[in-house]
A and B are shown apart, each in its own frame.
Chain A
Amino acid sequence: QKEVEQNSGPLSVPEGAIASLNCTYSDRVSQSFFWYRQYSGKSPELIMSIYSNGDKEDGRFTAQLNKASQYVSLLIRDSQPSDSATYLCAVLTGGGNKLTFGTGTQLKVEL
Protein backbone atom coordinates (compact mmCIF):
# COMPACT_ATOMS: atom_id res chain seq x y z
CA GLN A 1 0.00 0.00 0.00
CA LYS A 2 1.35 3.41 -0.97
CA GLU A 3 1.81 5.86 1.88
CA VAL A 4 -0.13 8.59 0.09
CA GLU A 5 -2.59 7.75 -2.66
CA GLN A 6 -4.29 9.95 -5.21
CA ASN A 7 -6.27 9.24 -8.32
CA SER A 8 -4.01 10.24 -11.21
CA GLY A 9 -6.87 11.55 -13.34
CA PRO A 10 -7.22 13.45 -15.51
CA LEU A 11 -10.17 15.00 -13.76
CA SER A 12 -12.09 17.20 -16.19
CA VAL A 13 -14.54 19.84 -14.99
CA PRO A 14 -16.27 22.67 -16.83
CA GLU A 15 -15.33 26.25 -16.08
CA GLY A 16 -17.23 27.53 -13.06
CA ALA A 17 -17.81 24.09 -11.56
CA ILE A 18 -16.48 22.65 -8.31
CA ALA A 19 -13.44 20.39 -8.63
CA SER A 20 -13.02 17.78 -5.91
CA LEU A 21 -9.61 16.19 -5.39
CA ASN A 22 -9.07 13.34 -2.96
CA CYS A 23 -6.17 11.79 -1.09
CA THR A 24 -5.77 8.94 1.38
CA TYR A 25 -2.78 8.24 3.59
CA SER A 26 -1.58 5.26 5.58
CA ASP A 27 0.37 6.69 8.54
CA ARG A 28 -2.16 7.14 11.34
CA VAL A 29 0.09 9.44 13.37
CA SER A 30 0.46 12.01 10.60
CA GLN A 31 -0.37 15.51 11.82
CA SER A 32 0.37 17.86 8.91
CA PHE A 33 -1.19 17.79 5.47
CA PHE A 34 -0.58 19.93 2.43
CA TRP A 35 -1.91 20.53 -1.06
CA TYR A 36 0.49 21.76 -3.71
CA ARG A 37 -0.29 22.86 -7.25
CA GLN A 38 2.23 22.11 -9.96
CA TYR A 39 2.17 23.37 -13.52
CA SER A 40 4.02 21.28 -16.08
CA GLY A 41 7.79 21.66 -15.68
CA LYS A 42 7.44 24.06 -12.75
CA SER A 43 8.02 23.65 -9.04
CA PRO A 44 5.25 22.72 -6.59
CA GLU A 45 3.44 25.72 -5.12
CA LEU A 46 1.72 25.49 -1.74
CA ILE A 47 -2.05 25.93 -1.94
CA MET A 48 -3.26 24.84 1.49
CA SER A 49 -2.02 23.46 4.79
CA ILE A 50 -4.36 21.69 7.19
CA TYR A 51 -3.58 20.28 10.60
CA SER A 52 -6.87 19.49 12.36
CA ASN A 53 -10.06 17.68 11.45
CA GLY A 54 -12.67 19.63 9.56
CA ASP A 55 -12.65 22.22 6.82
CA LYS A 56 -10.26 25.06 6.13
CA GLU A 57 -11.18 27.67 3.56
CA ASP A 58 -8.96 30.10 1.68
CA GLY A 59 -10.61 31.98 -1.16
CA ARG A 60 -11.87 29.49 -3.72
CA PHE A 61 -10.05 26.61 -2.04
CA THR A 62 -11.30 24.42 0.80
CA ALA A 63 -9.25 21.65 2.35
CA GLN A 64 -11.01 18.93 4.31
CA LEU A 65 -9.34 16.55 6.75
CA ASN A 66 -10.76 13.41 8.34
CA LYS A 67 -8.08 11.73 10.43
CA ALA A 68 -10.32 8.83 11.45
CA SER A 69 -10.78 7.89 7.80
CA GLN A 70 -7.22 8.98 6.88
CA TYR A 71 -8.61 11.16 4.15
CA VAL A 72 -7.78 14.63 2.86
CA SER A 73 -9.55 16.47 0.10
CA LEU A 74 -9.31 19.74 -1.77
CA LEU A 75 -12.31 21.53 -3.24
CA ILE A 76 -11.85 24.25 -5.82
CA ARG A 77 -14.94 26.38 -6.34
CA ASP A 78 -15.64 28.37 -9.50
CA SER A 79 -12.90 26.48 -11.34
CA GLN A 80 -10.96 28.51 -13.88
CA PRO A 81 -8.84 27.37 -16.85
CA SER A 82 -5.81 28.68 -14.92
CA ASP A 83 -6.53 26.02 -12.28
CA SER A 84 -5.57 23.35 -14.83
CA ALA A 85 -2.52 21.74 -13.26
CA THR A 86 -1.44 18.71 -11.27
CA TYR A 87 -2.40 18.79 -7.60
CA LEU A 88 -0.11 17.04 -5.16
CA CYS A 89 -1.21 15.82 -1.77
CA ALA A 90 1.62 15.72 0.77
CA VAL A 91 1.64 14.25 4.26
CA LEU A 92 4.24 14.74 6.97
CA THR A 93 5.09 11.25 8.13
CA GLY A 94 7.88 9.47 9.97
CA GLY A 95 7.31 11.34 13.19
CA GLY A 96 7.22 14.67 11.44
CA ASN A 97 10.52 14.50 9.61
CA LYS A 98 9.50 13.30 6.20
CA LEU A 99 7.14 14.81 3.64
CA THR A 100 5.62 12.08 1.48
CA PHE A 101 3.85 13.00 -1.74
CA GLY A 102 1.12 11.33 -3.68
CA THR A 103 1.67 10.98 -7.41
CA GLY A 104 -0.72 13.83 -8.09
CA THR A 105 -4.08 14.34 -9.77
CA GLN A 106 -4.18 16.14 -13.09
CA LEU A 107 -7.03 18.65 -13.25
CA LYS A 108 -8.34 20.02 -16.53
CA VAL A 109 -10.79 22.90 -16.47
CA GLU A 110 -12.57 23.14 -19.78
CA LEU A 111 -14.10 26.23 -21.33
Chain B
Amino acid sequence: EAQVTQNPRYLITVTGKKLTVTCSQNMNHEYMSWYRQDPGLGLRQIYYSMNVEVTDKGDVPEGYKVSRKEKRNFPLILESPSPNQTSLYFCASTSGGGQPQHFGDGTRLSIL
Protein backbone atom coordinates (compact mmCIF):
# COMPACT_ATOMS: atom_id res chain seq x y z
CA GLU B 1 0.00 0.00 0.00
CA ALA B 2 1.31 3.43 -1.01
CA GLN B 3 1.75 5.52 2.09
CA VAL B 4 3.58 8.20 4.00
CA THR B 5 4.35 7.15 7.56
CA GLN B 6 5.06 9.58 10.39
CA ASN B 7 6.18 8.80 13.90
CA PRO B 8 5.33 9.53 16.60
CA ARG B 9 1.66 10.41 16.14
CA TYR B 10 1.52 12.27 19.43
CA LEU B 11 4.24 13.72 21.62
CA ILE B 12 4.23 15.87 24.73
CA THR B 13 7.64 17.14 25.73
CA VAL B 14 9.35 20.06 27.43
CA THR B 15 11.11 23.15 26.21
CA GLY B 16 14.67 22.56 25.05
CA LYS B 17 14.59 18.77 24.79
CA LYS B 18 15.68 17.79 21.28
CA LEU B 19 13.22 15.71 19.31
CA THR B 20 12.95 14.12 15.90
CA VAL B 21 9.80 13.33 13.95
CA THR B 22 10.40 10.67 11.33
CA CYS B 23 8.77 10.49 7.92
CA SER B 24 9.05 7.68 5.42
CA GLN B 25 7.40 7.11 2.04
CA ASN B 26 7.26 3.94 -0.06
CA MET B 27 6.34 5.49 -3.41
CA ASN B 28 9.85 6.37 -4.59
CA HIS B 29 8.85 10.03 -4.65
CA GLU B 30 11.44 12.70 -5.40
CA TYR B 31 9.83 15.51 -3.44
CA MET B 32 9.07 15.54 0.27
CA SER B 33 7.83 18.36 2.47
CA TRP B 34 7.04 19.20 6.05
CA TYR B 35 4.08 21.38 7.03
CA ARG B 36 2.69 22.69 10.25
CA GLN B 37 -0.97 23.46 10.72
CA ASP B 38 -2.26 25.99 13.20
CA PRO B 39 -5.82 27.28 13.71
CA GLY B 40 -6.58 30.20 11.43
CA LEU B 41 -3.21 29.95 9.67
CA GLY B 42 -3.72 26.86 7.57
CA LEU B 43 -0.94 24.60 6.35
CA ARG B 44 2.43 26.29 6.14
CA GLN B 45 5.48 24.72 4.61
CA ILE B 46 8.49 24.35 6.90
CA TYR B 47 11.06 22.69 4.64
CA TYR B 48 11.03 20.70 1.45
CA SER B 49 13.41 18.40 -0.37
CA MET B 50 13.70 17.85 -4.10
CA ASN B 51 15.96 14.84 -3.84
CA VAL B 52 18.60 13.17 -1.70
CA GLU B 53 20.86 15.78 -0.08
CA VAL B 54 18.81 18.64 -1.62
CA THR B 55 16.68 20.61 0.84
CA ASP B 56 15.35 24.16 0.98
CA LYS B 57 13.47 26.41 3.35
CA GLY B 58 9.75 26.86 3.16
CA ASP B 59 7.74 29.66 4.73
CA VAL B 60 8.41 28.97 8.42
CA PRO B 61 11.81 27.24 8.77
CA GLU B 62 13.02 28.94 11.98
CA GLY B 63 13.69 26.46 14.77
CA TYR B 64 13.63 23.40 12.53
CA LYS B 65 16.18 21.26 10.72
CA VAL B 66 15.77 18.52 8.16
CA SER B 67 17.95 16.02 6.36
CA ARG B 68 17.50 13.79 3.30
CA LYS B 69 20.13 11.10 3.37
CA GLU B 70 17.90 8.51 1.74
CA LYS B 71 15.15 8.99 -0.80
CA ARG B 72 12.45 7.43 1.36
CA ASN B 73 13.17 9.28 4.63
CA PHE B 74 12.83 12.95 5.56
CA PRO B 75 13.09 13.51 9.33
CA LEU B 76 12.15 16.80 10.99
CA ILE B 77 14.43 17.84 13.85
CA LEU B 78 13.64 20.32 16.60
CA GLU B 79 17.00 20.98 18.26
CA SER B 80 15.61 23.12 21.08
CA PRO B 81 11.81 23.03 20.99
CA SER B 82 9.82 25.96 22.30
CA PRO B 83 6.11 26.29 23.15
CA ASN B 84 5.42 28.22 19.92
CA GLN B 85 6.25 25.02 18.04
CA THR B 86 3.23 23.30 19.54
CA SER B 87 1.28 22.35 16.43
CA LEU B 88 0.00 19.62 14.15
CA TYR B 89 2.72 18.53 11.72
CA PHE B 90 2.32 16.78 8.39
CA CYS B 91 4.85 15.18 6.11
CA ALA B 92 3.98 14.88 2.43
CA SER B 93 5.53 13.48 -0.73
CA THR B 94 5.00 13.76 -4.47
CA SER B 95 6.64 12.56 -7.65
CA GLY B 96 6.70 16.18 -8.85
CA GLY B 97 5.70 17.31 -12.32
CA GLY B 98 2.55 18.96 -11.02
CA GLN B 99 1.29 15.82 -9.29
CA PRO B 100 -0.57 16.12 -5.97
CA GLN B 101 1.05 15.54 -2.62
CA HIS B 102 0.29 12.54 -0.44
CA PHE B 103 0.12 13.26 3.27
CA GLY B 104 1.06 11.28 6.33
CA ASP B 105 -1.40 10.94 9.21
CA GLY B 106 0.12 13.81 11.14
CA THR B 107 2.04 14.31 14.38
CA ARG B 108 0.56 16.36 17.18
CA LEU B 109 3.36 17.99 19.16
CA SER B 110 2.87 19.74 22.48
CA ILE B 111 5.87 21.62 23.87
CA LEU B 112 5.41 22.59 27.51
Residues of A within 8 A of B (CB): 8, 31-32, 34, 41-46, 49, 51, 88, 90, 92, 96-104
Contact between A42 and B48, CB atoms less than 8 A apart: no
Residues 1-29 of B, flagged 1 when their CB comes within 8 A of A and 0 if not, give 00000000000000000000000000000
Contact between A43 and B106, CB atoms less than 8 A apart: yes
In the bound complex, how far is the Cα of B105 from the Cα of A103, in angstroms? 19
Q: How far is the CB of A39 from chain B (nearest CB, A)?
A: 11
Contact between B43 and A43, CB atoms less than 8 A apart: no
Count residues on chain B whose CB falls below 8 Å from chain A CBs. Answer: 28
In the bound complex, how far is the Cα of B108 from the Cα of A41, in angstroms? 9
Contact between A43 and B103, CB atoms less than 8 A apart: yes
**Assuming the A-B contacts A44-B90, A49-B100, A92-B98, are A98 and B48 also in contact, with contact meaning beta carbons closer than 8 angstroms in the complex?**
yes
Residues of B within 8 A of A (CB): 31, 33, 35, 40-45, 48, 50, 58, 88, 90, 92, 94, 96-106, 108
Given contacts A41-B108, A99-B45, 14 further A-B contacts (CB under 8 A): A41-B88, A42-B106, A43-B90, A46-B100, A49-B99, A90-B101, A92-B98, A96-B96, A98-B48, A99-B33, A102-B42, A103-B40, A103-B41, A104-B42
Q: CB-CB < 8 A to B45: which residues of A?
A: 98-100
- The B interface, classified by DSSP as helix, strand, loop or mixed, is strand
Q: CB-CB < 8 A to A102: which residues of B?
A: 42
Contact between A32 and B105, CB atoms less than 8 A apart: no
Contact between B43 and A88, CB atoms less than 8 A apart: yes
In the bound complex, how far is the Cα of B37 from the Cα of A88, in angstroms? 12
Q: How far is the CB of A3 from chain B (nearest CB, A)?
A: 10
In the bound complex, how far is the Cα of B106 from the Cα of A101, in angstroms? 16
- The one of A51, A100, A103 in contact with B98, judged by C-beta atoms closer than 8 angstroms, is A51
In the bound complex, how far is the Cα of B103 from the Cα of A88, in angstroms? 13
In the bound complex, how far is the Cα of B96 from the Cα of A92, in angstroms? 10
Q: CB-CB < 8 A to B43: which residues of A?
A: 44, 88, 101
- The one of A43, A92, A97 in contact with B48, judged by C-beta atoms closer than 8 angstroms, is A97
In the bound complex, how far is the Cα of B41 from the Cα of A104, in angstroms? 9
